[in-house]
Amino acid sequence: MTAARPAGGDPLLELRNISKHFGSVIALKDISTTVRAGQVTCVLGDNGAGKSTLIKILSGVFAPDAGELLFDGAPAHFGSPRKALDAGIATVYQDLAMVPLMAVWRNFFLGSEPTKGWGPLRVFDRATARRVTRAELAGMGIDIRDTDQPVGTLSGGERQSVAIARAVHFGARLLILDEPTSALGVKQAGVVLRYIVQARERGLGVIFITHNPQHAYPVGDRFLILKRGRSLGDFAKSEISRDEMTQLMAGGTELEELGHELDRVAGDDPAMGAVAEQITAEAVAKGPDGPAVDGPAAPG
């Protein structure tokens, strides 16, 4: 599937044994993966797996304590988010970096406004801003009714889409998406997934952070699965199936335990008992847990 696209080749970004501690807490330990142009690398993990720490390292907020970050094959040290941005790494945060009360076109160019004129008469080129916003959104297949409407009136999916279109327009080569689908309904999430594919088709490298394997599997080319700050594996799509991935993330043993626990809580309540039975059955069906990880790892 990946071979069908012209992009690929050398990794855009390579992580080699990245670790990060906060005092005695090990947030990340020995994380390695690669991102290629025109590919989507999904980072999966439950809450506390270390996903947020990983994003912050990639977007220049934190420096890793150990390990290497290679951008375009050369060791990279991003001292600040601005430097990462200048290098072409754009992060679309969960809080989106958009101002709800401002018009879509004002938000689109916020911080990088086009200007015309000279000296004190240099003004914000509003005509260009409006035109480019409209064209860029249309180019990504994003259909916004009116670029003059405040961003606050857009739906969550639409906002994510505008943020992605903005990053693409400003020359991002690597797009980091922090849980872009987590707060969205099924349909809206589908819309955002489509834009992820769009960005990939345009030759961008994409890091898609999510806790939802149903969202990750259809768009991903590579999957890094984190748990409690450690890597459960870094797989190409051909190496893992969706069910294996889900099982790896959820942890079969833990589901089984949850089933027993609910059994105890349920007592005589037949409805609750049925739920517990189902969970236990599911856990058994999925077989043994993935690679053992419940060692001394600290919460991420």
CB-based contacts of 99, cutoff 8 Å, min separation 6: 106, 107, 110, 151
Task: Please answer whether residues 206 and 220 qualify as being in contact, where contact means their C-beta atoms are separated by less than 8 angstroms.
Answer: no
Closest approach of other proteins to the CB of residue 54, in Å: 18
Give 56 or 222: the residue with its C-beta nearer to other proteins. Answer: 56
Nearer to other proteins among residue 107 and residue 231 (C-beta):
107
Of 17, 153, 182, 212, the one binding other proteins (CB under 8 A) is 153
Work out how close the CB of 180 gets to other proteins at its nearest, in angstroms, rounded to a whole number: 15
Is the Cβ of residue 157 or residue 259 nearer to other proteins in the bound state? Answer: 157
Q: Does 242 bind other proteins (CB under 8 A)?
A: no
Rounded to a whole number of angstroms, the CA Rg of the chain reads: 21
Least separation in angstroms between CB 245 and other proteins: 29
Contacting residue, 22, 73, 75, 155, with other proteins by CB under 8 A? 155
Which residue lies nearer to other proteins by CB, 65 or 113? 113
**What is the residue type of 220?**
G
Q: Alpha helix (H) ranges present in the chain?
A: 51-58, 81-87, 104-108, 126-139, 156-169, 186-201, 213-219, 242-250, 252-266, 270-285
Residues 184-213 that bind other proteins (CB under 8 A): 185, 188, 202
The C-alpha atoms of residue 238 and residue 58 are separated, in whole angstroms, by: 26
One DSSP character per residue, 11-49 reads EEEEEEEEEEEETTEEEEEEEEEEEETT-EEEEE--TTS
Q: Specify the residue, 8 or 81, whose C-beta has the smaller distance to other proteins.
A: 81
Nearer to other proteins, 87 or 97 (CB): 97
Nearer to other proteins, 146 or 294 (CB): 146
Q: Please report, as a single letter, which amino acid is at residue 18.
A: I
The number of residues that bind other proteins (CB under 8 A) is: 41
Instruction: Specify whether the CB–CB gap between 243 and 211 falls below 8 A.
Output: no
x/- letters, 108..147, toward other proteins (CB under 8 A): -xxxxx-x------xxx-x-------xxx-xx-x---xx-
Q: Which of 66, 82, 197, 294 binds other proteins (CB under 8 A)?
A: 82
Residue 175 and residue 207 in contact, taking contact as beta carbons nearer than 8 Å: yes
Q: Other CB atoms closer than 10 Å to residue 187's CB: what's the count?
A: 9
Question: Residues 26, 186: contact at Cβ < 8 Å?
Answer: no
Q: Which of residues 52-81 bind other proteins (CB under 8 A)?
A: 81
Q: Which of residues 91-110 bind other proteins (CB under 8 A)?
A: 93, 95-102, 106, 109-110
Question: Which residues of this chain interact with other proteins, rule CB under 8 A?
Answer: 81-82, 85, 93, 95-102, 106, 109-113, 115, 122-124, 126, 134-136, 138-139, 141, 145-146, 149-150, 152-156, 185, 188, 202
